[in-house]
Amino acid sequence: MSKRPGANKENLEETRRVFLDIARKEFCEHGYAGASTSRIVEKSGMARGSLYYHFGDKGGLFHAVYEEAMNETLKHVSAIMDAKEDPWDALIAGSNAFLDLCMKDEFRKIALIESQAAISFKDRLIIHEATLLGKLRTLIPALLERGYFPGHTPNTIVIFIFGILGEIGRAFDSSQDIKQDREAYGHAYEQSLSKMISA
């Protein structure tokens, strides 16, 4: 099988796109530890040097896949949140949108499971602050102005919400009935927040 040409001005973005699409499926199917750059290169039809040129190594490739997934998630969740006028409705709608994404195997594996092994907490936090955490932080002042979450600092609220949503999403990975668990966990999450807003 002949190799496609490596990176150049004409095919630079196309080459990167091919690797990202194949890698996302590879990481989802085999996990970070079991993923093979050899398989990715073979499926891509590209030269191995092209992968190194764009991403450096397997870690760099996963980082790019994860960052892209988080940016896609931000776009999706933001569109839903921004459609709500009331900040509380926006928070609940955004939370539900995120949990719905967590029900999808590919998203959950990349965003919540394999990322913890592949990317340091510090590096994940940088990506989070530029995406979902950052979006959440923009919403908190409006909630505090309305008297929600009394006695809590903005950072406490953000970390609590972000942390519990992530743990719920990870819990779906061992669900026997993911739809039932989605309903149960979602209900418990909203109840917990409701108690915090008037505590």
Where residue 29 sits, what CATH number does that domain have?
A: 1.10.10.60
With 0-12 CB in 10 A as exposed, 13-18 as middle and 19+ as buried, what is 115?
buried
Looking at the fold, whether 78 and 135 belong to one and the same domain comes out as: yes
CA distance linking residue 27 with residue 11, whole number of Å? 24
CA distance linking residue 133 with residue 179, whole number of Å? 26
Looking at the fold, whether 88 and 52 belong to one and the same domain comes out as: no
The pLDDT assigned to 196 comes to 85
Looking at the fold, whether 115 and 26 belong to one and the same domain comes out as: no
Looking at the fold, whether 45 and 66 belong to one and the same domain comes out as: no
Looking at the fold, whether 104 and 118 belong to one and the same domain comes out as: yes
**Residue 33 lies in domain:** 1-56
In which band, very low, low, confident or very high, does the pLDDT at 8 lie, cut at 50, 70 and 90? low
Q: Is the pLDDT of residue 44 over 90?
A: yes
For helices 12-34 and 37-44, what crossing angle results, to 10°? 150
Q: Is the pLDDT of residue 6 over 80?
A: no
Give Cα separations from 48 to 37, 59, 153 (angstroms): 8, 15, 49
End residue of a domain, out of 56, 80, 102: 56
CATH number at residue 104: 1.10.357.10
pLDDT in tens, 118-162: 999 999 999 999 999 999 999 999 999 999 999 899 999 999 999
3-state DSSP assignment of residue 11? coil
Q: Which residue has the tokens 């809590």?
A: 152
Q: Work out how many domains the chain is built from and give that number.
A: 2
Looking at the fold, whether 35 and 6 belong to one and the same domain comes out as: yes
pLDDT in tens, 49-104: 999 999 999 999 999 999 999 999 999 999 999 999 999 999 999 999 999 999 99
